[in-house]
Chain A
Amino acid sequence: MSLDRSRPPVAGTARPLAIPRPDRHRLPNGLTVAAVRRPRLPEATLALVLPAGADAVGWEQAGLASLVAKVLPEGSFGKTSRDMATLLDGLGVHLGVAVGYDSMIIRLHTLSGQLEPALEALASVALGPDFLADEVDRCRGERLDAIRRMRDEPAEVAADVVAELLYGDHPYGRLTRGREGSVESLNRADLVEFHARRFSPRVATLVACGDLPDDFNDLVTASFGAWRGVEVDHRPPATVREVASPGIVLVDRPGSGQSEIRIGGIGLERGDPDEPAARVTNAILGGLFNSRLNMNLREDKGWTYGARSTLSLRRARGPLSLRAAVETAVTGAAVREMLQEVGTMRESLPTEAEMRTAAGALTRSLPLRFETNSQIAGTIAEQVIYGLPDDYWSTFSGRIGGVSRDSVLDTAVRMLDPEGLAILVVGDADEVLPDLGKLGPVRLQEVP
């Protein structure tokens, strides 16, 4: 049979995707257990999801949730930091604590042969941290060192500065790791109080996915059953509607071979009726390789290794931000091109072809989101954090499919007000200022 290579092959019929639904169980103390049994490999992922994210405290205490996360594994129920490390490393597990704005997730990956002691270790880390003064001091010192080291990284400086330009003194105005000033002020009592107020079985969910034994719920009861805690006030932070400090800001980094560019606006909150349209808008602007930003700055101009945009959907309105690291000499021109792409998104309808690519990438990729245990645990955690219904993913494609070209245009207008954008460059001021100044007044700012 001869093959026509001149066009892409016609795809067969998609095999239906079985989206795993967890078995849910509630302990008498209120802890929700959501378990998906997938015994094909001898391993399991556990994730304890807690309403203890960085949005729980104000900017003065920025970095508190993150510091709590760092100290958690450093000694519990009288076991020293070294005991805990020896225990976890001896079991061969990986324990990591992820702090977002919306939540804290304590994740543990283990061989299933060690599941029972691993579960006990997870409970110990989460429920019984001693927050010994010496460990708190050491961890705070290490965190401060790390924050200071981040000043050497232009991309980290850009992330830190643009957060504040967008949100000012809102919790989203600081990175989750906080800043030198806020972290220096944190003390043991702050950590103890945060833990007491935010770690509670009434609002926590233990997600488990993988090779789980039949008596898994009994094991959870044995490890977590004695946990007691308070009611938690977990309202989202205030909604920000406008960029706190719009305009152009330059952070001087002498000798930089490249400039880090960030352009940001205020996007949407998770669950906003415009969320599907915003996802499509982002995919067209900069969410994919073939999006406008990358095709222009990388594939046409060769100015960068990559340009993209990110839509951060949080419990309150998160940012829509554009980013690229570009050769120093073209910094002004690159900012101009990025702003022009923003303008085009606001002024004209996307093409049918762009709509097809965006919708395809968002919806046909679902099978790839549910392949591994950690992916499945992650989507269940997401469902918990944002209160998504059980049919969220099975109806997702329909919502994206319902997005029209007009609604993309409207959503772009809503999120990307050209007068209200924060525009940040971290680069060599002597080199970039002349060109950048042609785009408008430039405020010079120090590395925080």
Chain B
Amino acid sequence: MTTPTRAIQFPFETRQLDNGLRVILQPDRSSPVVAVHLMYHVGSKNERAGGTGFAHLFEHLLFQGSEHVAEAEHFRLIQEAGGTLNGSTWFDRTNYFETVPSHQLDLALWLEADRMGWFLPSITQTKLDNQRDVVKNERRQSYENRPYGLATETVLHQAFPAGHPYRHPTIGYMDDIDRANLEDVGRFFRTWYCPGNAVLVLCGDFETEDAMRRVEQFFGEIPRGESPVRPAAAPPAEGGSQLVRLEDAVSVPRVYMMYGAPSFRSTEYEASALIASVLAGGRSSRLYQELVYERRIAADVHAYVWPLEDVGMMWVVATARPGVSAESLREGVDETIARFAERPAGDEEVSGARRRARRQLLLQFESVGGRASALAHATVLRDEPEYVNASFDRYGAVQPRDLRELASRVLAEERRTVVEVVPNETAPDSKPRPEAHP
């Protein structure tokens, strides 16, 4: 017996400090833990030409202490208190977050406030040089020395024209990481790290008014600063570019396809996520059934959308079985997608995709950290914290016709960029070299 899924509702309050800091408070007393999530509305898309990777390098520097917090103390204090923490940088935003036992809320607030208000006096050339080396090693470990690691950035480079904010990867290019200097650090901080460009989310075991008093106490005296002038939204991917073939130290080919799709702000975003789910979201999905089970030309296939502010991207990534060429695999994907247009997703497929999407939302919302992140993203990227509650219903309301209509627009070759990664034939020991970056 199955029953309809009941609605969910996480109550929250939205406040704003005099200095412009927006605060979202979502009390939940069910576990003695609290999440503090601070999201700044700046990411790699705000970097200057020749300065790629800077927003991410800067995120690293923010863990190197501030005026009242000694180097390496941020991590130590949170971990010693039993908490977890991290930061991350993406195209549109940079976030810093802690989950701590709830009686340690002040500790997390003190640390975040100190680096928002008192960061610059503590930064030194030595810290910058050290974290530059760490980040270069991050690029080596996660991209260059990893099979297929440069495919995604090659797709972006192909899909977007010179100067486009989404054209370069968040990790940045080595030469640009080398160029970063202390002057850039000061300018970047003053431009983007003011209270008015940030959202602070508290989620978990607290009482709203008490928590708000604490937020005011720690963040209230940080000066307003000058709010950044936001650039206009970037135009969508052009697509239709020539296929790029990338050689890499891999044993089998993999095909990366990226379609221009609705952004996270679009009313069609949920439908776009469900298209990806019907295409490759489970073992019964179209691509999985046809390419992995029936034709046995793919080892695996994935499809997903990126929740971005200005442009949307839908990715389809398939790995070949040994002996299958990149070309046959690409044609196989194309044929399945063409059949998807002829025989659109039916009620059963869409109903399963809706359930999977809502189930995944619950997995994220279940923890205070996941819910705080969702609230921060909804506020920063959509200016709509209510989206966290609404998204559950919106996924539930998507109909087969919504997918049909959207798929016919999105899954078109002229909106697509393709990169094939193929085993290195010429020089087995050479690393992939995407074409020269500006």
> Does the CB pair A89–B362 fall under 8 Å?
no
> Does the CB pair B299–A149 fall under 8 Å?
yes
> Does the CB pair A255–B430 fall under 8 Å?
yes
Say whether B14 faces chain A, with CB atoms less than 8 Å apart: no
Q: How far is the CA of A290 from the CA of B355 in the complex (A)?
A: 41
Binds A, one of B301-309, B333-341, B365-373: B365-373
Partner of A361, one of B3, B67, B79, B363: B79
Q: How far is the CA of A304 from the CA of B135 in the complex (A)?
A: 8
Give A229 Cβ to nearest chain B Cβ, in Å. 27
> Does the CB pair B141–A82 fall under 8 Å?
no
Give B286 Cβ to nearest chain A Cβ, in Å. 11
Given contacts A302-B131, A326-B137, A367-B82, contact A11 B145 (CB under 8 A): no
Say whether A151 faces chain B, with CB atoms less than 8 Å apart: yes
Give B7 Cβ to nearest chain A Cβ, in Å. 9
Give B361 Cβ to nearest chain A Cβ, in Å. 10
Closest partner residue, chain A, to B64 (CB atom): A299
Q: Please tell me the number of chain A residues within 8 Å of chain B, measured between CB atoms.
A: 84
Q: How far is the CA of A14 from the CA of B32 in the complex (A)?
A: 8
> Does the CB pair A11–B355 fall under 8 Å?
no
Q: How far is the CA of A14 from the CA of B104 in the complex (A)?
A: 8
Give B419 Cβ to nearest chain A Cβ, in Å. 17
Say whether B282 faces chain A, with CB atoms less than 8 Å apart: yes
The residue among A17, A305, A325 with the most chain B CB atoms within 10 A of its own CB is A305
Say whether A152 faces chain B, with CB atoms less than 8 Å apart: yes
Question: Across the interface, which residues of B come within 8 angstroms of A256, CB to CB?
Answer: 145
Render B265-292 as a binary contact track against A, CB cut-off 8 A, 1 for contact: 0000000000000000111110011001
Given contacts A14-B32, A116-B1, A360-B79, contact A299 B133 (CB under 8 A): no
The residue among B144, B359, B365 with the most chain A CB atoms within 10 A of its own CB is B359
Question: Across the interface, which residues of B come within 8 angstroms of A40, CB to CB?
Answer: 30
Given contacts A149-B251, A299-B130, A357-B79, contact A255 B358 (CB under 8 A): no
Partner of A92, one of B131, B249, B359: B359
> Does the CB pair B359–A109 fall under 8 Å?
yes
Render A21-42 as a binary contact track against B, CB cut-off 8 A, 1 for contact: 0000000000000000000111
Q: How far is the CA of A151 from the CA of B141 in the complex (A)?
A: 16
Q: How far is the CA of A290 from the CA of B289 in the complex (A)?
A: 47
Partner of B284, one of A43, A82, A300: A82
Give A190 Cβ to nearest chain B Cβ, in Å. 23
> Does the CB pair A90–B348 fall under 8 Å?
yes
Question: Across the interface, which residues of A come within 8 angstroms of B299, CB to CB?
Answer: 142, 145-146, 149
Question: Across the interface, which residues of A come within 8 angstroms of B129, CB to CB?
Answer: 302
Binds A, one of B68-76, B178-186, B382-390: B68-76
Closest partner residue, chain B, to A116 (CB atom): B1
Give A135 Cβ to nearest chain B Cβ, in Å. 10
> Does the CB pair A305–B33 fall under 8 Å?
no
> Does the CB pair B362–A111 fall under 8 Å?
yes
Binds B, one of A46-54, A166-174, A368-376, A383-391: A368-376
The residue among A91, A110, A111 with the most chain B CB atoms within 10 A of its own CB is A111
Closest partner residue, chain B, to A375 (CB atom): B367
Partner of A114, one of B132, B252, B355: B355
Partner of A15, one of B102, B134, B250: B102
> Does the CB pair A371–B31 fall under 8 Å?
yes
Q: How far is the CA of A231 from the CA of B133 in the complex (A)?
A: 56
> Does the CB pair A12–B31 fall under 8 Å?
no
Residues of B at under 8 Å CB distance from A? 1-6, 8, 30-33, 67-68, 71-72, 75-77, 79-84, 99, 101-104, 106-107, 109-110, 114, 118, 129-138, 140-142, 144-147, 205, 217-218, 221, 249-252, 281-285, 288-289, 292-293, 296, 299, 319, 321-322, 348, 351-356, 358-359, 362-363, 365-368, 428-431
Known pairs A138-B293, A142-B292, A373-B366. 9 more at Cβ < 8 A? A15-B103, A41-B365, A138-B296, A152-B147, A255-B429, A288-B79, A304-B141, A360-B80, A360-B82
